[in-house]
Amino acid sequence: MHLCLNSPERENIIRLMNSGIIDKNERTDLTSGNVWKKLIGFFIPIMIGMLFQQLYNTVDAIIVGRFVGTEALAAVAGSPAVIINLVLGFFSGLASGATIIISQCFGAGNEEGVSKAVHTVTAFCLIAGVVLTFVCRALTPWALKAIGNPEDIRELSESYMKIFFAGTVPMMLFNAGSGILRAVGDSATPLKYLVLCTVLNIILDIVFVIYFSAGVAGAAWATVVAIAVSAVLIMRDLAVKPGPQKLYIRKIGIDRRTLSRTMYIGVPSGIQSAMYSISNLILQASVNSFGSDTVAAWAVTGKLDGIFWVLSNSFGTAICAFTGQCFGAGLTERMKKGTKAALIMDVAVAVIFASILLPIAPFALRLFTEDQGVIDEAVHIMLWFVPYYFIWCFIEVYSNTLRGAGDSIRPAVIVLLGICLLRILWVAFVVPVWHSIDAVSASYPVSWAVTALALLIYYLRSDWLRRCSEHLNV
């Protein structure tokens, strides 16, 4: 059900703003003013935060690839990255349910509900993090073998993953703390700690990998230490900063009703995230069959490719919030204008970025490796999907528009079938016949085109607007 703010709830927000708990300057009203200016202004800070996150994810690959070697690069950025995203993505999706509850309770002025959710999600992260640490470390050898991680890099991959999973608790706490602060209107503090985490990770990578020659293990420890420091600082911020989100150590525990609501909201998000990772895991297994050089080429391609996803996902996040505010205010025409503007901007960025990326790719890839064979193969792989980035923009914008209006299940099903299931079928039936890295790479534009077409038809032809409007008035 879509939730609107009634008069008492609006008064609660005004009361919290006047008390100083919410900074007026941190709230963004997207229901008035020039659509293009509002979207761009809202998009830029989101993009900055995501770019730092992408930089954080890229640092290990650059330093390991340049100073340790191609095999080490494949061991860090290949199968381990996909497996880690699968595990942490699912549990981050679960925890996101608490963030939504906190936002709802905070907007309604339910300070007790905010407090229960804060302490419940903290307890959940502590418990789940400890369990995940032991389970994931124990299953690491099996997981790498199951997806066919090349034997010549399996020992390095196992070492990296076991150290990385030792930091599961601080990783989950950092993500939860960032979500809590954003839920109560504080977006600056999570960005500050994300920047700190990135800078610290870079420094520790240089120290551990280059000066101490610790190799793959050094890169893993650099990541764990950087996140642990940031997690401690963000938890300290929660314990010190006044407001209903304040964290009290003695109150950390599971509230069953809050946990039940968290799971109800978070499980679908976790499943969707897991399905994305599973489809990528299956593709990674196919890539692994072509050897460590191809694994390295696929991995470095993903690092440059990731910049586009940061840009496009930022548009998706922005239009989701824009749609939510405008649809909640009954401004459906403004919502449609915003969707059109976001699509035009996203497509323009995709075309410009692709036009720049392809010519500079042979040079940019040298940030990760000096192996000319790996660079040549990576450039070849990129030709299969970089020119078709613009197709993805339709998926990003339309799915987030529908989600922002309260229609989340049907678009999710379309995306899961078009992206995840189609890729699984592609690997099962097409790749064995056309056994090459080209076949694996081609699965991306094909799945994008099918999904984009299905979403476009749904957006233009279905009665989603009427159905969402009925839910809005319930």
DSSP collapsed to 3 states, the chain: CCCCCCHHHHHHHHHHHHCCCCCHHHCCCCCCCCHHHHHHHHHHHHHHHHHHHHHHHHHHHHHHHHHCCHHHHHHHHCHHHHHHHHHHHHHHHHHHHHHHHHHHHHHCCCHHHHHHHHHHHHHHHHHHHHHHHHHHHHHHHHHHHHCCCCHHHHHHHHHHHHHHHCCHHHHHHHHHHHHHHHHCCCCHHHHHHHHHHHHHHHHHHHHHHHHCCCHHHHHHHHHHHHHHHHHHHHHHHHHHCCCCCCCCHHHCCCCHHHHHHHHHHHHHHHHHHHHHHHHHHHHHHHHHCCCHHHHHHHHHHHHHHHHHHHHHHHHHHHHHHHHHHHHHCCCHHHHHHHHHHHHHHHHHHHHHHHHHHHHHHHHHHHHCCCCHHHHHHHHHHHCCCHHHHHHHHHHHHHHHHHHHCCCCHHHHHHHHHHHHHHHHHHHHHCCCCCCCHHHHHHHHHHHHHHHHHHHHHHHHHCCHHHHHHHHHCC
Distance of CA 463 to the CA centre of its chain: 30
Question: What value does the mean pLDDT take over residues 383-395?
Answer: 94
Structural contact between residues 176 and 122, judged by C-beta atoms closer than 8 angstroms: yes
Cα separation, 225 vs 278, in Å, equals 28
CA 323, CA 14: separation in Å to the nearest integer? 22
49-75 residue pLDDT tens = 778 777 766 776 778 877 787 777 777
Whole-angstrom Cα distance, residue 436 to residue 287? Answer: 9
Q: Report residue 31's pLDDT band, with 50, 70 and 90 as the boundaries.
A: low
Average pLDDT over residues 207-214: 86
Residue 428 has a CB neighbour count (10 Å cut-off) of 11
Choose between 99 and 89: higher pLDDT: 89
Q: In the predicted model, what is the mean pLDDT of residues 118-140?
A: 91
Residue 293: Cβ within 10 Å count: 17
93-115 mean pLDDT: 69
Range with the poorest average pLDDT among 3-12, 247-256, 302-311: 3-12
Tell me: pLDDT of 192 over 50.
Answer: yes
pLDDT at residue number 23: 45
* Residue whose tokens read 């679908």: 268
* pLDDT band of 78, cuts 50, 70, 90: low
Q: Is the pLDDT of residue 27 over 60?
A: no
Of the pLDDT bands very low, low, confident and very high (cuts 50, 70, 90), residue 344 is very high
Could you tell me the two tokens for 443?
Answer: 């699965």
**pLDDT band for position 397 (50/70/90)?**
very high
Share the mean pLDDT of the chain. 80
pLDDT score recorded for residue 349: 92
pLDDT at residue number 183 = 62
Task: Estimate to the nearest angstrom the gap between the alpha carbon of 264 and the chain centroid.
Answer: 20
User: How far, in Å, CA of 309 to CA of 302, rounded?
Assistant: 10
Distance from C-alpha of 82 to C-alpha of 76, rounded to nearest angstrom: 10
Most confident of 79-93, 95-109, 285-299, 319-333: 285-299
Give the pLDDT score at 342.
92
Residues 448-453 have a mean pLDDT of: 94
396-400: average pLDDT: 88
Average pLDDT rounded to a whole number, residues 295-316: 84
Residue 24 has pLDDT above 70, yes or no: no
Please give the pLDDT value at position 25.
44
Q: Minimum mean pLDDT among 140-154, 266-280, 342-356: which range?
A: 266-280
In this prediction, residue 448 carries a pLDDT of 94
pTM passes above 0.85: no
The pLDDT of residue 216 is 86
pLDDT value at 325 more than 70: no
pLDDT digits (tens, 9 = 90+) for 358-380: 999 999 888 888 888 889 999 99
Backbone φ, ψ for residue 406 (5° rounding): 105, 0
Checking if the pLDDT of 112 tops 80, the result is yes
Structure tokens at 89: 């993505």
Stretch 35-45: mean pLDDT, rounded? 79
